[in-house]
Chain A
Amino acid sequence: MTAPSGPRGGHPAAPAPEVHAAVSAVWRLESARITAALVRMVHDVGAAEELAQDAMVAALEQWPATGVPTNPAAWLTTVAKRRAVDRIRQAEREERGHGELARALETAEPRDDPASEDGGAGSDGEDHEADESADILRLLLLTCHPALPTRTRIALTLRLLGGLTREEIARALLLDATTVTRRIAEGRRILARQRVDFSGAPGPEELGERIGAALEVVYLVFNEGYSATSGEDLIRPDLCLTALRLGRLLARLAPREPEAHALVALMELQASRQAARTGPDGEPVQLHEQNRGRWDPLLIRRGFEAMLRARDLLAGPPSTGERPGPPGPYLLQAAIAVCHAQARTAEETDWAQIAALYQALAHLLPTPVVQLNRAVAVGRAEGPQAGLDLVDALHLDPALQDYHLLPSVRADLLLRLGRTAEATTEFRRAAGLTRNDAERAFLLRRADALLRADALGVTAPGPSLGAAADAFLGRAELDASSRRSYAQTLRRLRTGLGDTVPLAEVTDDQIGRVFRTAWGDSAPATWNRHRAALRSFCAWAGRETPADAVPRRAVPATAHRGPLPGPGLRSLLRDPTVPARDRALWRVLHESGATVAAVLALDVEDLDPSRHRARSGRAFVCWHPETGPLVAELTEGRARGPLFLSARRPAPARAPADAADLCPETGRRRLSYERAEYLFKQATRRIDPAGRGFTLRTLRSGY
């Protein structure tokens, strides 16, 4: 086998790691198309996977010498197809018939010269594109074949359509590579035993029967990535992206299937909330507490568009006057996601509509989760009693008798009804049923909080302000800093209104009065922080936020002050490409906790290097011994003058007024706060999820 083409288009020979990255990039984008064409040629999923793999290996071997070809995708396709032809010829020599070979050659020979610059999109005829789509759809239905176990469908789909390597699949699904290899082998074996029609596009009937399995696989992959809330595992957001891609692809391949578009809508809308779903420390943030400003408007718009397509398909062409078909489960779930996306605040959520959608969904998917979600929605829409009635009906279902979320939801509703003692019992029952330690601890804490409140003599009509506040603050999903902050707000309310006053009897005006007295003169940001805590508390307690009594105040735009992400900062502080001066400054700030002004004001004379500290007024600025060498680098050859110097000498006219700010040995001036701030902002931009960079002050707060 010779290289089908030399370097073209002026790409010089590339070093191996870059080639590797280029090959896998092309592979991710093209594998579905290439593998699908191969499957049609060789009629064997396993063989197609091997051929595709061979082509990748050939690229890894040849591209470092020849350079990356101008049209890498066409190159890979051609090599793979040629190998497929070789294989078929060999098989034919061994025994098989001629027909297969003839057809394979026919599909492989034309328009596949990688030397042709136009091998890519656009130049191929429409027929070819249609063939290609049919091949890919056929492959997708194959990897989601009903004869395969679900886990095998997922592995095969990710491998053959997602273009993931076995190692990548293993990492994405938290498995070891051997297991993935075993699952793929199992899939190949099962498929080899099936009678599969490898040619042409699947008919509408077949598609209708099989598409559900394909949609399910895509959504499982998405959820696998979406439910990963540990911020450390970067591969898993990648899994969401893979699922979104597969879903969008499937919607194009089956454009008349409303459920395919609905699934895309559902995934786009859920993905739009990704950034808001975790707090600064990676802790999960519940939907009603999310900062909706962090939802991605682009994905929301795409979700709405996909939703409109799905609805239009369901309604059918307007001319026929047919009644719209029944909505499928993905359409209903997407519609619920649309309701949330349309609410600008948690309070604006149209719970009545969501409850109605859950009711329809419960007919199609009568799973416990759906039933319970419906009860929660009804509890929001029609009040806790209506929600409780539904939950109590579910209680009779033996399938749900060990389901811990049932008593937990029930307890919440009871609490809102003021039936504290029963709520306590239900929380305890839920704690006994859950297998998750963290969840158990959380449920027990809530029960204890209620018991304590009860001991204070709290009775109907409804929980007291104090009991409600304790239960609210006792929730496991609250991180320590939010809890502290919320507790501050609620303490004012409790001291202002009394711990034992029933929450239901507290009026908006009373709350407004407490707010104005406590924070009327505070900065708008402070006011709004307390207001946000109040809003969160009200949402939890199932009452309206007193929007008129406690209005939001306009905040002047300020610099970004979110916390620094620890891992990003650690690697930045070790990054040898960052100048030693900047790293030394950042590390000293970070390790000493001293103010930026104090650290910038340090002079060489203040240093006490053996003890890793410097005198600053009457105190010391201390740093870690590891930082010592960096500081020493700064003072090399200097006995006096500012410790942190700017990079250039000032023009004579701009010499600082204060001689102490000029280094007598180098003639350079003291590094200014503005400049240091600017440099840090620039450097931290890439570790800031918001892309704005951090201020130096954030360094003082520790990892």
Chain B
Amino acid sequence: MRYLMTARSTETTPAPDEKLFTEMAAFVEEMTAAGVLLATGGLAPEGVRLVSRGDELTVTDGPFAEAKEAVAGFALVEVGSKEEAVELARRFRRIVGDGESTVQQVFGP
């Protein structure tokens, strides 16, 4: 089964430094090689928002006020159980420090 892990920054999230980049790269490489990580990436803080209501579609250019709560990165993992996904998210959080992660199962294709 697949899980999508998304990470959000909070007020106390430290700015990334050299050490974090190194550890993160090692973690990503290890997970990729172990066949667990299928895709991952960071997300730009700015973006375009589309809201539809009835027949109306509103398109707004970012950045948005609540940028702090925006998703900063994602990882798509393929694991045998929810607990495995949580364990991976746990390791990820140990590397990046303060902040939030969400782990959700992915259905399909």
Contact = CB atoms under 8 A, between A and B. Distances in A.
Given A121-B26, A245-B36, A275 B109 contact: yes
Interface of B: 22-24, 26-27, 30, 32-36, 38-39, 76, 78-84, 86-88, 90-91, 94-95, 106-109
Main secondary structure of the interface of A (DSSP, over half): helix
Contact of A691 (B23, B32, B108): B108
A316 interface: no
Nearest to A32: B34
A29 B109 contact: no
Nearest to A685: B107
A245 B109 contact: no
Nearest to A243: B35
A72 B88 CA distance: 11
A302 B38 contact: yes
Contacts of A25: 80-81, 83-84, 86-87
Interface of A: 21-22, 24-26, 28-29, 70-73, 117, 120-123, 129, 238, 241-242, 244-249, 251-252, 275, 294-298, 302, 685-686, 688-691
5 contacts: A22-B86, A73-B91, A248-B32, A252-B33, A298-B38
Main DSSP-derived SS at the B contact region: helix
Contact of B34 (A70, A123, A248, A295): A248
Nearest to A133: B33
Given A28-B84, A121-B26, A302-B38, A241 B78 contact: yes
A394 B81 CA distance: 47
A117 B106 CA distance: 31
B87 A29 contact: yes
B36 A122 contact: no
Contacts of B108: 689-691
A22 B87 contact: yes
A238 B80 CA distance: 7
Given A120-B94, A122-B95, A294 B109 contact: yes
Contact of A248 (B22, B26, B35, B106): B35
Most buried by A among B27, B84, B95: B84
A226 to B, nearest CB: 15
B39 A244 contact: no
Contacts of A275: 109
A154 B95 CA distance: 35
Closest 3 CB pairs of A and B: A691-B107, A248-B35, A122-B23
A643 to B, nearest CB: 31
A688 B83 contact: no
Nearest to B84: A25
A24 B27 contact: no
Contact of A120 (B83, B86, B91): B91
A71 B88 contact: no
Given A22-B87, A29-B88, A121-B30, A296 B94 contact: no
Among the interface residues B35, B36, B38, which one has the most CB atoms of the partner chain A within 10 A?
A: B35
Contact of A22 (B24, B83, B106): B83
Nearest to A30: B87
